[in-house]
A and B are shown apart, each in its own frame.
Chain A
């Protein structure tokens, strides 16, 4: 049997851990709800923007002006990989799931990527640590996103990606023809999945998918889903005469940048929500474990105390018997 004093000490520290993890769980739960709300608030915006893009591409078809570069497919020689993770740990398998997906993806397409030059960008401290540990050079890192990302924080990342894609950064600087993003998809408060997405060149179905995924499949916000019909490449004849200022090309180019920005914003928001819910789950398990442990320790402590008392009584009675 373990020392009573020692047991008491352990019991105390386990109780403390229990309190801390419980508090973290509650905080994470509130943050998760908040980040979901933020993501949902931008849904009408996202759908309208996409609708506008659909309209513009229809007009483009009928007038045959060239598509902006962001929407064009081109030969892929260089690829940019973006890993989206959290800044802080204690979030269960949240970060490692993304990294595992990344490793699987690289392994599967090893042959395909052999010919191509690769660049890496880390979003979140953990992704940076992971890539550095693997000996991969990180082109740039974006950290300190906080609990909920804001449009101002996503802007530098999007600008950086667009610049590299359009090769407008400093001569000799890095550039790429494709952007692949690894992030976490928030399916529900209990389930998050790592996802791989191609952000550039912009593809309509990918965008639509991202926007549809803003609403989680189950849970509090699931019933808000109101499907809107957006179709791309429909009949040209149902497009009416639009007056477009300054010109269709300029609008489309601007809009394409906007849509990319919006997509990045959403991916990071979604990762935020996933991070908080992963942390909530991890903390819940931790506090459950702590209460289990404290129960067993308590029993052990009582037993050890009881046996110490019994031992003392035996000694006393033995002593008094010896005297009489």
Chain B
């Protein structure tokens, strides 16, 4: 899936990813390929991304939004 994570200061992640795991106000969520469309509010925690080269990335998040769009595209806007 195509994943982009933006913060106010910079682009944290952009590119192909296999998995995104983060904390939302309703609980922990893991997004894999072809997830259904979804909008959620993020809460403080650590987001984990596994990119297409199996490499893991971690981002600290204080708040933000998560949107899973049609066409296997995921976008996050976060406050770090």
Contacts and interface: CB of A to CB of B under 8 A. Distances in A.
A55 interface: yes
A246 B40 CA distance: 7
Interface string A152-169: 000000000000000000
Contacts of A244: 38-40
A245 B25 contact: yes
A51 B38 CA distance: 14
Interface in B1-57: 4, 6-11, 24-26, 36-41
Given A42-B8, A243-B37, A244-B39, A49 B77 contact: yes
Interface stretch (A108-116, A248-256, A285-293): A248-256
Given A44-B6, A52-B65, A251 B39 contact: yes
Interface of B: 4, 6-11, 24-26, 36-41, 65, 67, 70, 75, 77, 79
Contacts of B67: 48, 52, 55
Contact of A56 (B4, B11, B38, B39): B39
A55 B75 CA distance: 13
A51 B6 CA distance: 13
Given A49-B65, A151-B79, A245 B39 contact: yes
A204 interface: no
A241 interface: yes
Interface residues of A, number: 26
Nearest to B35: A243
A48 B39 contact: no
Given A245-B26, A246-B26, A255-B65, A151 B8 contact: yes
10 contacts: A42-B9, A45-B6, A48-B4, A48-B6, A49-B77, A51-B75, A245-B38, A245-B40, A245-B41, A251-B39
Contacts of B26: 245-246
Given A52-B65, A151-B9, 14 more contacts: A41-B8, A41-B11, A45-B8, A48-B6, A52-B75, A55-B39, A55-B67, A241-B36, A241-B37, A244-B40, A245-B39, A246-B25, A246-B26, A251-B40
